[in-house]
Amino acid sequence: MEREEGLTAVDNIVTQFNTYEDFLDSQITTVDLYYLEDEVLARQLVELGYRGTGEVVKREDFEARKAAIEIARLAKRTQKKTLTSAGKDLQDNFLKALAVREEDNRNGKSVIFIRDRNSHGQEVSGYIDYAHRLRTEDFEVYFDGKRRLLPKPTDLSFYNWECHIAVWNSTPNYQVIADNPEGLLFKYKRDRKILNVDPKDKEHGRQWKARPGDNSTRIPIQTEMYIQAVIFDHISRRKT
146 vs 22, residue with greater confidence: 146
Distances (CA, A) of 88 to 49, 92, 189: 54, 12, 32
End-to-end CA distance of the chain: 47
d(CA 85, CA 98): 8
Query: What is the residue-averaged pLDDT of the chain?
Result: 82
Adjacency order of strands within the sheet including 110-117: 165-168, 157-160, 123-129, 110-117, 228-234, 216-220
The H-or-E segment that residue 11 falls in is: helix 2-16
Distances (CA, A) of 239 to 130, 191, 199, 234, 236: 21, 9, 31, 14, 8
Taking 80 as the threshold, does the pLDDT of residue 49 lie above it?
Answer: no
Instruction: Round the CA-based radius of gyration of the chain to a whole number and report it.
Output: 29
> pTM score, two decimals?
0.64
* The predicted structure's pLDDT at residue 202: 42
* The predicted structure's pLDDT at residue 42: 72
240 vs 90, residue with greater confidence: 90
**Using one digit for the tens of pLDDT, what is the confidence trace for 112-132?**
999 999 999 999 999 999 999
d(CA 174, CA 97): 21
In sign, the C-alpha dihedral spanning 183, 187, 192, 198 is negative
Confidence tier at 44 by pLDDT (50, 70, 90): confident
Taking 70 as the threshold, does the pLDDT of residue 20 lie above it?
Answer: yes
* The predicted structure's pLDDT at residue 172: 92
Taking 60 as the threshold, does the pLDDT of residue 7 lie above it?
Answer: no
Angle at the Cα of 82 from the Cα atoms of 81 and 83, rounded to 5 degrees = 115
The stretches of 17-146 forming alpha helices (DSSP H) are 20-27, 30-36, 39-48, 59-79, 93-102, 130-136, 140-143
* The predicted structure's pLDDT at residue 81: 59
Taking 50 as the threshold, does the pLDDT of residue 2 lie above it?
Answer: no
* The predicted structure's pLDDT at residue 3: 45
* The predicted structure's pLDDT at residue 77: 63
**Using one digit for the tens of pLDDT, what is the confidence trace for 163-213?**
999 999 999 999 999 888 778 899 999 889 999 987 554 444 555 555 788
